[in-house]
Amino acid sequence: MPRLSELNTDALNDAQRLVLKSIESGPRGSMGLVGPFGIWVRSPTIGQMVQSLGATVRFETSLAEDVKEVAICAVGTHYHAKFEFAAHQRLARQAGVSEAVIEALRLGTDPQFDSPALSASYRIARRLLNDHRLDDETYSVGIDVFGENGLIELVNVIGYYCLVSLTLNAFEVPITANMTDPFPDFR
């Protein structure tokens, strides 16, 4: 059960409407107040900055979509963020990530990758999530595969989705009716 009451768009103040307009006029399109967006709209100063960062890391990096989605799903699983994983497993499929990899990510087991970029994305995400840093070997792999700019972008994608996952979990944001609960054993 969500911790925040349902938010009606007709009840938004001007600052909240501006955040919603920014979300919906950007690359995400008409999202409404689902997922973290309904939370960020409630706190417009933070919400505007966070949604802008999200649009940047999601749509304006040099990283391939499958690379980002593997990292995002790894973050969602780490935090058992139901909405996050449910939303991004669909996007991972659309980006060409195999069902076997998505299922391994959901289960928290190490997937078998055919792509060095996907393997590196997962490895970097897991190291940051578990160790809170990159060892020299993982850092070198990241530089070799993504270059300096790409590694910076990937680290920020991972960090942003940690923020998203914690936000979703703190406020117990439910999955939508068209989503399947990826972690039914977790609250």
Q: Which pLDDT score is estimated for 22?
A: 84
Q: In terms of residues, how long is the chain?
A: 187
Q: Which pLDDT score is estimated for 43?
A: 93
| Dmax (CA) of the chain | 52
- Give the number of other Cβ atoms within 10 Å of residue 99's Cβ: 10
> 1.20.1290.10, 2.50.20.10, 2.40.40.20, 1.20.1260.10: which CATH number matches 65-170?
1.20.1290.10
Query: CB–CB of 130/77 below 8 Å?
Result: no
- Give the contacts of 117 (CB within 8 A, at least 6 positions apart): 64, 66, 67, 145, 146
Taking 70 as the pLDDT cut, the residues of the chain under it are 1, 26-27, 29, 31
Exposure on the CB side of residue 162, measured as CA atoms within 13 A: 12
Q: For the chain, what is the total number of helices (H) and then of strands (E)? A: 8, 0
Look up residue 82 and give its amino acid: K
Pick the closest to residue 186 from 174, 124, 26 (CA basis). 174
Pick the closest to residue 44 from 9, 20, 26 (CA basis). 20
Q: Which pLDDT score is estimated for 7?
A: 83
Answer whether 0.85 is exceeded by the pTM. yes
Q: Which pLDDT score is estimated for 187?
A: 78
**Domain range list for the chain:** 12-59, 65-170
